[in-house]
């Protein structure tokens, strides 16, 4: 399966902008992908679901899970929501752990018994997924499925191209661990970004129920604060009428928008 990713940048939001503008597409794309402001490690949709008109919102921060290998792991401790296959939970370090505390999710076969690929299976169709993608390297890959149909593949190369399309000051702020010392600035050659995946805003029939996390090298795919939502009505926080900046709760802002083309294939 080819990993070439065809994508189109839709627009960039400055902190003085009120709206993000999307370039009309000749063909519908399965996902709209946005980044949170550099250093932000939680989804703005999770922090204020009402601003997005979101329902069925859950976040898994892995902090209540025992570090080490799990044969399976319920999403946020709720089997009714979904579950991961074999999963490695790692205590925070320079590679991951939102806020520089607790644990994080890792696909890393360097650890004894740890998998190089893990699937999150969700019990109902979902329309949004977000994760703090830390220490992103060339071996990391995400795949989104609806049943056995592959909707989209997103790799670190796509993430880096997205970040590199932003103005230089914002671009540089994504590199290195953003948490307080002694973690601050460590691993400065790799991006740390919260990435939001919105199923096609123009087509409510586009949903997914499986996410595959792949690490095909001798590294790790570190992430944290996995967030899902069954529905949403806005891909950006709704500002107050007097607000002149498109800012979310706690000063969070989206800094970019990207559309990526569909590719289809068989379930791995």
Mean pLDDT of 109-130: 91
Looking at residue 29, its pLDDT comes to 72
Strand partners, 175: 191
Mean pLDDT of the chain: 81
Mean pLDDT of 92-113: 91
Q: How confident is the model at residue 239 (pLDDT cuts 50, 70, 90)?
A: low
Mean pLDDT of 32-43: 95
Mean pLDDT of 195-215: 96
Least confident of 95-109, 123-137, 207-221, 244-258: 244-258
Gap between the Cα atoms of 191 and 135, Å rounded? 6
Q: Give 200's contacts (C-beta < 8 A, 6+ positions apart).
A: 28, 29, 30, 31, 32, 206
Dihedral angle, C-alpha 142, 139, 215, 173, nearest 10 ° = -60
Instruction: Give the DSSP letter of residue 75.
Output: G
Triad 38, 41, 42: Cα angle to 5°? 125
Using the predicted structure, report yes or no on whether residue 124 has a pLDDT greater than 80. Answer: yes
Q: What pTM, to 2 d.p., does this model score?
A: 0.82
Gap between the Cα atoms of 76 and 195, Å rounded? 19
Do residues 202 and 212 lie in contact, with contact meaning Cβ atoms separated by under 8 Å? Answer: no
Using the predicted structure, report yes or no on whether residue 245 has a pLDDT greater than 80. Answer: no
Looking at residue 72, its pLDDT comes to 95
Q: Which of 249, 245, 128 is nearest to 197 (CA)?
A: 128
Q: How far apart are the first and last CA of the chain?
A: 10
Using the predicted structure, report yes or no on whether residue 87 has a pLDDT greater than 70. Answer: yes
Using the predicted structure, report yes or no on whether residue 110 has a pLDDT greater than 70. Answer: yes
For the chain, domains (ranges, CATH) are: 32-192+200-241 (2.60.120)
Looking at residue 108, its pLDDT comes to 85
Looking at residue 33, its pLDDT comes to 94
Distances (CA, A) of 196 to 46, 86, 118, 206, 217: 11, 24, 19, 16, 24
Q: How confident is the model at residue 158 (pLDDT cuts 50, 70, 90)?
A: very high
């Amino acid at each position: 399966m080819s990993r070439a990713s065809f994508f189109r940048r839709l627009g960039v939001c400055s902190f003085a902008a009120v709206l993000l503008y999307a370039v009309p597409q000749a063909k519908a794309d399965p996902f709209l992908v946005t980044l949170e402001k550099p250093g932000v490690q939680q989804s703005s949709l999770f922090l204020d679901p009402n601003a997005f008109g979101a329902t069925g919102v859950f976040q898994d921060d892995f902090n209540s899970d025992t570090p080490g290998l799990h044969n399976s792991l319920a999403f946020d401790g709720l089997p009714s929501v979904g579950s991961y296959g074999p999963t490695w939970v790692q205590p925070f370090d320079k590679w991951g752990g939102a806020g520089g505390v607790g644990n994080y999710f890792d696909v890393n076969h360097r650890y004894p018994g740890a998998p190089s690929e893990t699937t999150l299976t969700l019990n109902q169709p979902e329309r949004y997924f977000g994760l703090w993608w830390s220490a992103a390297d060339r071996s990391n890959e995400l795949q989104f499925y609806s049943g056995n149909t592959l909707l989209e593949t997103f790799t670190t190369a796509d993430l880096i191209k997205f970040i590199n399309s932003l103005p230089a000051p914002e671009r540089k702020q994504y590199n290195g661990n953003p948490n307080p010392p002694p973690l601050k600035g460590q691993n400065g050659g790799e991006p740390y970004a919260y990435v939001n995946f919105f199923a096609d805003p123009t087509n409510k029939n586009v949903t997914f129920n499986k996410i595959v996390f792949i690490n095909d090298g001798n590294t790790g795919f570190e992430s944290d604060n996995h967030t899902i939502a069954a529905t949403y009505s806005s891909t950006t926080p709704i500002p107050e009428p007097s607000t002149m900046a498109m800012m979310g709760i706690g000063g969070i802002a989206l800094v970019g928008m990207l559309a990526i083309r569909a590719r289809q294939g068989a379930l791995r």
